[in-house]
Each structure stands twice: as C-alpha cells, then as structure tokens.
C-alpha cells in the first residue's frame, strides 16, 4: 500500500507551542503514526492518545485546543488521496473523537424547549471559513464521507454538496477552460455519498421554506429548474456524462465522471421508493 508522507507547515512558529498538554506538533505525530499503512495504532488507541492531550471540558482557558486540532485534522484530510484506505481510517477517528466529552459542546436555544449537544462545533466553523474548496478532490471526497455521519448536520453537508455542484457544473466558464479537478471533486459527492445526497436532495427533501436556503441553494446559469428534486439531479448526471466523453478531460477525470454518471443513473432508477 502506498505510503502517505503527510506534511505540516514546520515554518509555522506556533506549531510546537504547548497549551496545557496540547500542541499541533504532538497531534500531527499521533495522526501520522495512526494513518500510515501498517500502523501499530488502532482506532481506539489513536483516540485515547489525542483525547489525553486535549483539555477537560470545563477548562475554559484552554478551550481553543479542539479548534486547533480541527485545523490539523482537516489539513491532513486534504492530503490523503480520495481512493486511499486512510481516508476511511481518518473518518473512523473523527466519529470516535466526536463522541467524547472534550469534543462536544452543550447548547440551549431560546426557541426550543430542550438543550442539545453539538459535536465538533469548531470543525464546522473551520470548514465554512475554508470554503471554497470545491476543486480540491481529496478534500471533497472526505467532506462527502463526513456528511453521511452525525458530525455534520443535514444542512452543512447539503450546503457543500450543492455549492460544489453549482460552482463546477452549473456555472459558465471562460472559453476553452476545463478543470479536471473541478469535475472530479464534484464526482466525489456521488462516488462517496451518492445515496445520502439522493435521499436529502430528491427522495426525502426536508422543508426548506426559508429565505436563507432559497438563496444559498440557488441554481447556476446553466440550470433553470427547481433547487431540489430529480430535475437537478439529472442535470448533474448529464454534466458528468458530457465530461466523461470530453476530449479536454484527462483519464482520471473521465473515469470519475463516468462512475458518478453511472451511479446517479442507478440510484435514481433503482433506489427511489
């Protein structure tokens, strides 16, 4: 299996700063040890090592450490090839960390009669701050996989899926411009999370009678149909088919586009109730 050779910016002056027991350098060391093929660390052991260097939930003075860890986790996610098994290992680690008390915040809302727990709240903020990353293939694959878990809520994942598809498949581009990475990045949402996306966009769409989502999920100039539903799904499918047959696309892009188009056809045909 191909080694990863993960890197971190060693010129960053804050890299080895220690806050309590935490530093980005320590976290990076644990993560690289865990993610390299043939690692001696199990999911549980890696979770324990990271948990041990994070502050306790009531230590407010050090509350920035989970935020810093989130940046390290996401920076590593960008580096792991979308087809590498370590993407799944990292996803498993996210799910384990997300269940711990050190990565969970307790919220109450004035409009609700209940309070709730929000896992990895810092991670969701970082993802939003880093967007757009709609042409980063590895990262789109990981966020697509993450969207199928309880770490990202329904609207977070669907926002990124729709924004990526709109940016890459529904927008006009300059004459002769063709981005292989943009097409492959869009395809990752189908290859890695196609059934989930179909359910949320087409089969069981939730009530979006809200001005924010009407605006956030608006369509691009090449597509003029409803913002959710089968028509938009089929438009994206056709765009992948065109990309798979394009002389301007490289082999990897064609392969990913064809996979996405075929999966979309099968899901729409055989998975609709």
pLDDT in tens, 170-179: 998 764 456 8
| pLDDT, mean of residues 19-34 | 95
Per the prediction, the chain carries an average pLDDT of: 90
Does the predicted model carry a pTM greater than 0.85? yes
- Tell me which H or E stretch contains 264: helix 251-270
Q: Which two tokens stand for residue 14?
A: 């804050």
Domain boundaries, the chain: 1-130, 134-268
pLDDT tens-place string over residues 75-105 = 999 999 999 999 999 999 999 999 999 988 8
pLDDT tens-place string over residues 245-272 = 999 999 999 999 999 999 999 999 998 7
| DSSP string for 121-134 | HHHHHHHHHH---T
| pLDDT, mean of residues 42-53 | 97
pLDDT tens-place string over residues 135-151 = 899 999 999 999 999 89
Q: Any idea which residue has 């804050």 for tokens?
A: 14
Three-state SS sequence of 205-221 = CCCCCCHHHHHHCCCCC
């Amino acid at each position: 299996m191909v080694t990863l050779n993960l890197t971190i910016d060693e010129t960053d002056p804050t890299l080895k700063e220690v806050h309590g027991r935490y530093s980005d350098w320590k976290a990076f060391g644990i993560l690289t040890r865990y993610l390299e093929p043939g690692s001696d660390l199990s999911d549980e052991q890696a979770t324990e090592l990271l948990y041990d260097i994070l502050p306790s939930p009531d230590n407010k003075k050090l509350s920035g450490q989970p935020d810093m860890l989130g940046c390290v986790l996401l920076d590593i996610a960008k580096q792991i090839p979308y087809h590498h098994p370590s993407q799944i290992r990292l996803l498993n680690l996210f799910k384990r960390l997300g269940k711990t008390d050190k990565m969970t915040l307790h919220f109450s809302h004035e409009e609700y009669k209940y309070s709730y727990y929000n896992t990895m709240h810092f991670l969701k903020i970082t993802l939003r701050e880093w967007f757009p990353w709609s042409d980063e293939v590895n990262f789109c694959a990981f966020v697509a996989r993450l969207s199928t878990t309880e770490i990202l809520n329904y609207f977070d994942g669907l926002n990124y899926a729709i924004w990526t598809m709109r940016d890459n498949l529904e927008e006009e581009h300059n004459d002769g411009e063709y981005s292989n990475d943009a097409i492959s990045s869009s395809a990752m949402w189908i290859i890695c999370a196609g059934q989930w996306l179909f359910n949320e966009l087409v089969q069981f769409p939730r009530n979006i009678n809200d001005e924010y989502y009407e605006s956030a999920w608006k369509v691009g100039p090449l597509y003029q149909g409803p913002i959710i539903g089968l028509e938009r799904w089929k438009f994206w499918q056709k765009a992948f088919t065109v990309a798979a047959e394009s002389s301007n696309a490289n082999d990897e892009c064609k392969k990913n586009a064809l996979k996405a188009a075929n999966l979309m056809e099968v899901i729409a045909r055989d998975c609709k109730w």
